[in-house]
Amino acid sequence: MERYNHLRLQRLVPVNPRRVRPGRSNVTVPSDPRAHAQELSRQLERVVITADKQEPGFDPNLLLKIKAVGIQPDDLESIEGLRVVSQEGNELVVLFASQEGLDEFRRRLAQMSRGEVPTRKDIIFAVKGIEGWTPEDRQGPALRQEGIPEEEPFIVDVELWPLERGPRREQMLNYFENWYTKKNIVKIDRVNQENIVMYRLKVTRESLQAILLHRDVRLVDLPPRYQLSVSLVHMSLRDLPEIPSPPDGAPGVVVLDSGVATGHPLLAPAIGDAQSFFPGLGPQDESGHGTMVCGLALYGDIEKCLNEGRFIPEFRIFSGRIIDAANRNDTGFVENHIIAAVKYFIEHYNCRIFNLSFGDLRKIYLDGHVRGLATVLDSLAREYQVLFVVSAGNFEGTDVIPVNWRSEYPDYLFSPEARIIDPAPALNVLTVGSLARYEQPRMGQRHPHDVGYQPIARRDQPSPFTRTGPGPRKAIKPEVVEYGGNFSVDLRLSNHVAGPTDGLGEISTAHNFATGNLFKVDRGTSFAAPKIAYLAGLLLRRYPDAGPNLLRALIVAHSRCPEATINLFNGDLEKIFNVVGYGKPDWEKVVYSFENKVTLINQEEIEGESHHFYEIPLPEDFFGPPARRLRRITVALAHTPLVRRTRINYKASAINFRVVKNNSLDYVVRVFRYTPREEREKLIREAGNFIPKARFRNNGTVQAATWDLPQVDSRWGNNKLFVVITRTVEPWAKDIFDREPYALVVVIEDCSNQQVRYYSQVRQMLRARVRV
Cis peptide before 626 (omega within 30 of 0): yes
Contact indicator for 70, 124 with CB cutoff of 8 Å: no
Q: SS3 for 596-625, per residue?
A: CEEEEEEEEEECCCEEEEEEECCCHHHCCC
Question: How high does pLDDT run on average in the chain?
Answer: 89
Peptide bond connecting 423 to the previous residue in cis, omega within 30 degrees of 0: yes
Residue 622 in contact with residue 758, Cβ under 8 Å? yes
- Residue 734 pLDDT exceeds 80: no
pLDDT at position 328: 75
- From the list 564, 571, 527, the residue with the least C-alpha distance to 439 is 564
Q: d(Cα 538, Cα 531) in Å, to the nearest integer?
A: 11
322: Cβ contacts below 8 Å, ≥ 6 apart? 256, 257, 277, 278, 329, 334, 337, 338, 341, 358
Coil vs helix vs strand at 705: strand
The CA dihedral of 356, 392, 488, 153, to the nearest 10 degrees, is -110
Reply yes or no on domain 150-221 having CATH 3.30.70.80.
yes
- E strand segments, 204-352: 217-221, 252-257, 271-276, 316-321
Task: Look up 98 and say whether it is catalytic.
Answer: no
Instruction: Report the alpha-carbon angle 261-262-263, nearest 5.
Output: 95
Alpha-carbon gap, residue 483 to 702, rounded angstroms: 21
Q: Considering all CA atoms of the chain, what is the largest pairwise distance in Å, rounded to the nearest integer?
A: 84
Catalytic, out of 216, 257, 285, 301: 257
Local confidence band at 313 (pLDDT 50, 70, 90 cut-offs): very high
User: What architecture does CATH give domain 230-580?
Assistant: 3-Layer(aba) Sandwich (3.40)
Q: Can you tell me the distance from the alpha carbon of 48 to that of 766, in angstroms, rounded to the nearest whole number?
A: 62
Q: From the candidates 526, 593, 610, 653, which is the catalytic residue? A: 526
Q: Report the C-alpha gap between 337 and 239 in whole angstroms.
A: 39
Spatial neighbors of 425 by CB under 8 A, at least 6 apart, are 365, 370, 371, 374, 431, 471, 472, 477
Which residue in the list 289, 558, 611, 612 is annotated as catalytic? 289
* pTM given for the model: 0.83
Band of pLDDT at residue 193, cut at 50, 70 and 90: low
| Mean pLDDT on 396-403 | 71
User: How many C-alpha atoms does 491 have within 13 Å on its Cβ side?
Assistant: 23
Rounded CA separation 95/76 (Å):
9
The full set of domain ranges for the chain reads 7-24+593-771, 33-133, 150-221, 230-580
Higher pLDDT, residue 542 or 370: 542
Q: Does domain 7-24+593-771 have CATH number 3.30.70.1450?
A: no
Quickly count: other Cβ atoms within 10 Å of residue 715's Cβ.
7
If DSSP codes are grouped into helix, strand and coil, which group holds residue 570? coil
What is the tens place of the pLDDT at every residue in 411-449? Answer: 999 999 999 998 999 999 999 999 999 999 989 888 888
289 is catalytic: yes
pLDDT of the residue at 230: 53
Buried b (16+ CB within 10 A) or exposed e, 294-305: bbbbbbbbbbeb
**What confidence category does residue 396 fall into, taking pLDDT thresholds of 50, 70 and 90?**
confident
255/348 Cα distance (integer angstroms): 15
Q: Is residue 424 within 8 Å of residue 467, measured between CB atoms?
A: yes
pLDDT number for residue 119 = 84
Side-chain half-sphere CA neighbours of 569 within 13 A: 24
pLDDT at 410: 94
Strands 387-391 vs 353-356: parallel, antiparallel or unpaired: parallel
Give Rg (Cα) of the chain: 28
Known active-site residue 157: no
| Percentage of the chain lying above the pLDDT 90 cut | 59
pLDDT tens, residue by residue, 82-100: 887 776 765 777 788 889 9
Which has the closest alpha carbon to 221: 136, 139, 135?
A: 139
Asked if 150-221 and 230-580 have one fold, the answer is no
